């Protein structure tokens, strides 16, 4: 388990360093233009996902996401014990990645977000974003496994823009982003709503996969 857990830790760490760090950089350079800042944040995140999944996927499956790990357990692709270890590593590494981004940009290391992200529209967005991410992964694994890095990177890039929540689609990311009071943050009080919606979206994706894609 040491190599897969190390891969999950490394990947999730760099994912959050990228999400938070590029958000800080984009906000500083955009001159108050939120659309331009979001575009910079989006491009960096999609590109980073492609890189991380390409070189860490063969080692751990490149989940970097407790919702994806849950879906893999439900599909019996990994054991529950492995999933518990994955999720623990993902959350810890995500927080560490956020703190690393703060350090790189001379921000206070320990922060709590004040950005409000809540309500039915945001929850629905997170459920839909996570559903789409999981079903994309399952479809590519089944039909064209070598397309997973590009497909996931492109999906998240587009989901940043077609969802009202800007597509967190990841409980570990959601927890870590509550600890940054920068462009990509989410108020800690709103984390539970996001995570609940993400897990529901992942479970529905597993059901749809079984109904429409998976061999019986």
pLDDT of residue 216: 52
pLDDT of residue 213: 74
Instruction: Residue 160: name the closest of 10, 70, 27, 37 by CA.
Output: 37
pLDDT by position in tens, the chain (length 216) = 899 999 999 999 999 999 999 999 999 999 999 999 999 999 999 999 999 999 999 999 999 999 999 999 999 999 999 999 999 999 999 999 999 999 999 999 999 999 999 999 999 999 999 999 999 999 999 889 999 999 999 999 999 999 999 999 999 999 999 999 999 999 999 999 999 999 999 999 999 998 887 655
User: Residue 35 contacts by C-beta under 8 Å, 6 or more apart in sequence?
Assistant: none
pLDDT of residue 215: 58
CATH code for position 43: 1.20.1080.10
CA angle 149, 151, 154 (to 5 degrees): 105
**d(Cα 212, Cα 214) in Å, to the nearest integer?**
6
User: Residue 171 contacts by C-beta under 8 Å, 6 or more apart in sequence?
Assistant: 65, 66, 67, 91, 194, 195, 198, 199
Domain span at residue 49? Answer: 2-212
Q: What is the pTM of this model?
A: 0.95
Count of structural domains within the chain? 1
Backbone dihedral region of 154: left (phi > 0), alpha (psi from -120 to 50 degrees) or beta? alpha
């Amino acid at each position: 388990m040491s190599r897969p857990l190390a891969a999950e830790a490394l990947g999730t760490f760099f994912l959050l360093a990228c999400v938070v760090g590029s958000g800080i950089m984009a906000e500083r350079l955009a001159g108050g233009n939120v659309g331009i800042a979001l575009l910079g944040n989006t491009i960096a995140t999609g590109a980073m996902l492609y890189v991380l999944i390409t070189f860490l996927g063969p080692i751990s499956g490149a989940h970097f996401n407790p919702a994806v790990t849950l879906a893999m357990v439900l599909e019996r692709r990994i054991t529950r014990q492995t999933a518990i270890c994955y999720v623990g590593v993902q959350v810890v590494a995500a927080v560490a990645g956020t703190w690393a981004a703060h350090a790189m940009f001379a921000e206070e290391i320990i922060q709590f977000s004040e950005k409000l992200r809540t309500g039915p529209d945001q929850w629905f967005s997170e459920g839909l974003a996570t559903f789409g991410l999981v079903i994309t992964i399952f479809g590519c694994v089944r039909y064209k496994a070598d397309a997973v890095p590009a497909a996931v990177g492109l999906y998240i890039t587009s989901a940043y823009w077609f969802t009202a929540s800007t597509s967190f689609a990841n409980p570990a990311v959601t927890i870590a982003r509550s600890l940054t009071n920068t462009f990509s943050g989410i108020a800690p009080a709103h984390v539970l709503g996001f995570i609940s919606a993400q897990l529901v979206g992942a479970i529905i994706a597993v059901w749809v996969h079984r109904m429409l894609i998976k061999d019986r």
